[in-house]
Structure 1
Amino acid sequence: MKIVKFILCFLFALVFINAGLDKFFHYSPMPKLTAEQEKIFAAFVEIGWLMPLVGIVEVIGGVLFIFPKTRALGAIIILPVMVGIVLHNVYRDPNQMGIIMSVVMFLINIWALIDNREKYKALIS
């Protein structure tokens, strides 16, 4: 079970590290966007600091998520980005595969939070 947990967390982290690095190096092809998605993307680009900030959060959170000792911090750091991804996929990109993928990723993030709940007790006590 421990190896399955590591592999799952490692793959989750790689997705975020890749997504974060792509925000800086633009190596993945852009998918075909609807007119509404193009407007949203243009707004994000117009706010010049937003995409680099999200990229940094994704890379740092992903790297922290790989290691069991820092996974709790990585899960907290990635959570707001993950919520945004799920909301975007549900409301702005009703592509069934995107929704399924984002919900699975969100559940992995929630599982990591629950699995590390003991580490958070000091924060809320």
Structure 2
Amino acid sequence: MKQKITFVLSLLFGLFFINAGLNKFFNYMPMPEKMPEEMMKAMGGIMAIGWLMPLIAVAEIGSGLLIIFPKTRALGAIIVFPVMVGIVLTNTVTDTSGLPMTLPFVAILLWIIYDNRAKYMPMINE
């Protein structure tokens, strides 16, 4: 039962990040009309660095694909972790309206990392 729940959560998590990464390339989801000024300034700064959004998109797509498959889930979780830290910081410092949607994804990522903790031990013990 635990494996089925983990698979479903990992599948949803992976698909969410694949969608978010693809949206950075193809812009098929509309931006909210009323965004706070701080968020607009932050997004403008990120967009000014021309290589940053494609890098984030590739990390999101790649980690989303890796998280879906149990054999590569631990690697995908490590790759997406810095992206998730940025999402959490953006949603706590700049605009808190996205925080209720962000927290379940943080919980899923932490569960995936905890569930694969044995795979990370060789990195920590050496």
Structure 2-normalised TM-score? 0.93
Task: Identify the residue that residue 92 of structure 1 maps to in structure 2.
Answer: 94
How far apart are 1:123 and its partner, in Å?
A: 1.3
Counterpart AA for 2:117: R
State, as a whole percentage, how many aligned pairs show the same letter: 51
1:31 aligns with 2:32: yes
The structural deviation recorded for 1:124 is: 1.7
Superposed, 1:63-102 pairs within 5 Å as 63-95=65-97, 98-102=98-102
Aligned to 2:60: 58
Query: How far apart, in 1, do the equivalents of 2:110 and 2:58 lie?
Result: 21
The equivalent of 1:111 in structure 2 is 111
Mapped to 1, the partners of 2:38 and 2:84 lie a distance apart of 21
Question: Separation in 1 of the partners of 2:90 and 2:109?
Answer: 17
Q: Match of 2:5, SS?
A: helix
Q: Which has the higher contact order (CA 8 A, sep 6+)?
A: 2
Higher alpha-carbon deviation: 26-35 or 68-77: 26-35
Q: Which has the higher helix share?
A: 2
Give 3-state SS (helix, strand or coil) of 1:8's partner. Answer: helix
> Which residue of the partner structure matches residue 15 of structure 1?
16
Unpaired runs of 5+ residues, structure 1, are: none
Root mean square deviation of aligned Cα: 0.9
4+ runs of 1 displaced by more than 4 Å? Answer: none
Partner-residue secondary structure (3-state), 2:85: helix
